[in-house]
Amino acid sequence: MSNKKDLKLRVKTVVGHMKGIEKMIDEDKYCIDIINQITAIQSSLRKISDQLLEDHLHSCVKSAIKRGDDEEVLGELMEVLKHRTQK
């Protein structure tokens, strides 16, 4: 997995933001402000997902196709792509 350090940092940042959400709920902060924070976290998660997907394309998908073993890896990829847009 390339850029592992960067990925882990992004994930830690999301964990920190999620703890912030917990605090906002605890302190009865305004719902709209909490919803906007969640929307920002979802955007960060999508970027982490994009980065993993890019990694996957350039490693596993590429080598599977080169081996002529593409049916399974492309089928799996389509399932992920369908679910990503329905989250």
Query: Which chain residues interact with a second copy by CB under 8 A?
Result: 1, 4, 7-8, 11-12, 14-15, 18-19, 21-22, 25-26, 28, 30-32, 34-36, 38-39, 41-43, 45-46, 48-50, 52-62, 65-66, 70, 74, 76-78, 80-87
Q: 23 to each of 12, 15, 29, 41, 42, how far by Cα in Å?
A: 17, 13, 9, 15, 18
Query: CB of 59: closest distance to a second copy in angstroms?
Result: 8
Show the CA angle centred on residue 54, arms to residues 15 and 42, nearest 5°.
30
Query: CB of 81: closest distance to a second copy in angstroms?
Result: 6
Query: CB of 41: closest distance to a second copy in angstroms?
Result: 6
* Nearest-10 crossing angle of helices 31-56, 70-86: 170
